[in-house]
C-alpha cells in the first residue's frame, strides 16, 4: 500500500474517577472513555526513508514534538522505508478530547497497515502505552474501561448510540495543572455503576452514572465551564459533563434533531461547538479502511 487515509476520532470521558497520587506522580484513575464522530484526518504516504509529520494547525508541533511523530519513532526500527504523515486537525487542542493521543494511535495503526508490519493489537497497545496514557484507549476505540494511569484498557459492551453537542471555551488547559489542583473528596466512584449499566444495556442507568472528578477543579478556575454546561442544559441536554481535564463540555441530547437545534442557538452566540454522535468500535475500524 503506497498511501492511506485514516480518521482519528476524539473521545469523551463518560466517567473519570481519580484516585490518590502514586509514587510515580501519576494519579490512579478509573474511567469509561468513548470515541465520538468528531475526527482528525491523517494522510500517510511511503517515502524512501525517514519520518516526517506535518499538521495544518499552528497550535500543534510538527515532527517529533507531535505525539504522532513520537509514536512513529517508536516503530522506526521496524519500518522498511520512510513515512510522510499529514494531519488535518479538526479536534480542538488541549480541550480534554484526546486529539493528540488519537493521532498517535492512528499513526501506529497507519504505519502497521502502510507497510504490512503485521503488529498484533497487543503489540500496538504496548507501543501506545509508551507514547502516552490515553493512547492505548484509541487503539481499541468504542466504549472502553481504563485503569492505572489510563493505559490498562478493556473493551466494554457498546454504548447505545447517543447524540452529543460538544462545546468549548476559547482556551485550552494543561492536564498536568488540573491534576495538580485535584484534592480527593471521597466521592463514591461512578465507573463501577456505569460498567454495570452498560453490561445490562440500561440507557437510563448509563445517564445516571456519568461523572467527572476533575470537573470541579477546572470549573472553579474557569467559570466558563459551568456557564457552558448551564447553557447546554437550558437548550435541552438530558445530561452535561466536562470531558477529561476540560475545558470542553458535552451535552447529551434525546436525538439528532434536538442536538442540531441546540447547536443552531450556540452558532448564533458564537460558541465553538460540534454536533457529534458516539462511534462504536466497529465504526472506528471502518474509519480505518481509508
Ligand atoms: P489529554 O487530555 O490527553 O491531555 P487533550 O485533548 O487535552 O489531551 P491534546 O489536544 O491532545 O490535549 O494536546 C495536548 C498538547 O499536546 C498540546 O499542547 C499540543 O501542542 C501537543 N500535541 C502534540 N501532538 C499533538 C497532536 N497531534 N494533536 C494535538 N496536540 C498535540
Instruction: Please check the confidence at residue 288 and state whether its pLDDT lies above 80.
Output: no
Q: Show the cell assigned to 289.
A: 479502511
Specify the pLDDT at position 33: 98
- Looking at the chain, the whole-number percentage of residues with pLDDT higher than 90 is 90
User: Could you read off the pLDDT of 225-277 as tens digits, one per residue?
Assistant: 999 999 999 999 999 999 999 999 999 999 999 999 999 999 988 899 999 99
User: Could you read off the pLDDT of 130-188 as tens digits, one per residue?
Assistant: 999 999 999 999 999 999 999 999 999 999 899 999 999 999 999 999 999 998 878 89
pTM for the whole structure:
0.96
Give the separation between CA 97 and CA 141, rounded to whole angstroms.
13
Instruction: Please check the confidence at residue 290 and state whether its pLDDT lies above 60.
Output: no
Query: Ligand 1 pocket, 40 CB below 6 A?
Result: no
- What is the number of the ligand 1 atom nearest to the C-alpha of 245? 2
CATH of domain 163-277: 3.30.70.890
Considering the candidates 109, 134, 168, 229, report the single residue annotated as catalytic: 134
Distance 68 CA to ligand 1 centre (A): 10
Task: State the virtual CA torsion across 42, 105, 50, 40 in degrees, nearest 10.
Answer: 20
Give the separation between CA 188 and CA 140, rounded to whole angstroms.
27
> What separation in angstroms does the CA of 232 have from each of 172, 227, 278?
20, 9, 18
- Looking at the chain, the whole-number percentage of residues with pLDDT higher than 70 is 99
Specify the pLDDT at position 287: 66
Query: Ligand 1 pocket, 283 CB below 6 A?
Result: no
Specify the pLDDT at position 237: 98
Distance 67 CA to ligand 1 centre (A): 8
User: Could you read off the pLDDT of 44-103 as tens digits, one per residue?
Assistant: 999 999 999 999 999 999 999 999 999 999 999 999 999 999 999 999 999 999 999 999
Q: Centre a 10 Å sphere on the Cβ of residue 283 and count the other Cβ atoms it contains.
A: 19
Distance 49 CA to ligand 1 centre (A): 27
Pick the residue whose CA is nearest to atom 24 on ligand 1: 66
Query: Ligand 1 pocket, 66 CB below 6 A?
Result: yes
- Quickly state the pLDDT bin for 192 (edges 50, 70, 90): very high
- What is the number of the ligand 1 atom nearest to the C-alpha of 175? 4
Give the separation between CA 60 and CA 39, rounded to whole angstroms.
15
| 134 flagged as catalytic | yes
Query: Ligand 1 pocket, 246 CB below 6 A?
Result: no
| Residue ranges covered by each domain of the chain | 3-156, 163-277
CATH of domain 3-156: 3.30.230.10
**Contact present, 147 and 137 (Cβ < 8 Å):** no
Specify the pLDDT at position 160: 87
Give the separation between CA 209 and CA 287, rounded to whole angstroms.
29
Pocket test for ligand 1, best of 43, 55, 60, 133 (most atoms within 8 A of CB): 60
Amino acid at each position: 500500500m503506497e498511501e492511506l487515509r485514516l480518521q482519528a476520532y476524539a473521545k469523551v470521558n463518560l466517567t473519570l474517577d481519580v484516585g490518590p497520587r502514586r509514587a510515580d506522580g501519576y494519579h490512579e484513575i478509573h474511567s469509561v472513555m468513548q470515541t465520538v464522530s468528531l475526527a482528525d484526518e491523517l494522510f500517510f504516504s511511503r517515502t524512501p526513508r525517514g519520518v516526517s509529520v506535518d499538521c495544518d494547525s499552528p497550535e500543534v508541533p510538527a515532527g517529533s514534538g507531535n505525539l504522532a511523530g513520537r509514536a512513529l519513532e517508536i516503530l522506526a526500527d521496524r519500518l522498511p522505508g520512510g513515512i510522510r504523515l499529514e494531519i488535518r486537525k479538526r479536534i480542538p487542542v488541549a480541550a480534554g478530547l484526546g486529539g493528540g493521543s488519537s493521532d498517535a494511535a492512528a499513526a501506529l495503526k497507519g504505519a502497521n497497515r502502510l507497510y504490512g508490519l503485521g503488529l498484533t493489537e497487543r503489540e500496538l497497545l504496548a507501543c501506545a502505552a509508551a507514547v502516552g496514557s490515553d493512547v492505548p484507549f484509541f487503539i481499541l476505540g468504542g466504549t472502553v474501561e481504563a485503569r492505572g494511569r489510563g493505559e490498562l484498557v478493556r473493551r466494554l459492551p457498546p454504548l447505545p448510540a447517543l447524540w452529543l453537542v460538544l462545546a468549548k471555551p476559547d482556551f485550552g488547559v494543561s492536564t498536568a495543572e488540573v491534576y495538580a489542583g485535584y484534592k480527593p473528596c471521597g466521592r463514591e466512584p461512578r465507573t463501577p455503576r456505569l460498567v454495570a449499566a452498560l453490561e445490562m444495556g440500561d440507557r437510563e442507568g448509563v445517564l445516571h452514572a456519568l461523572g467527572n472528578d476533575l470537573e470541579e477543579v477546572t470549573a472553579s478556575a474557569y467559570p466558563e465551564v459551568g456557564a457552558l454546561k448551564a447553557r447546554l442544559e437550558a437548550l435541552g441536554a438530558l445530561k452535561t459533563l466536562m470531558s477529561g481535564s476540560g475545558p470542553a463540555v458535552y451535552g447529551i441530547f434525546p436525538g439528532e434533531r434536538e442536538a442540531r437545534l441546540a447547536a443552531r442557538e450556540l452558532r448564533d452566540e458564537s460558541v465553538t461547538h460540534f454536533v457529534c454522535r458516539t462511534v462504536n468500535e466497529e465504526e472506528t475500524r471502518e474509519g480505518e479502511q481509508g
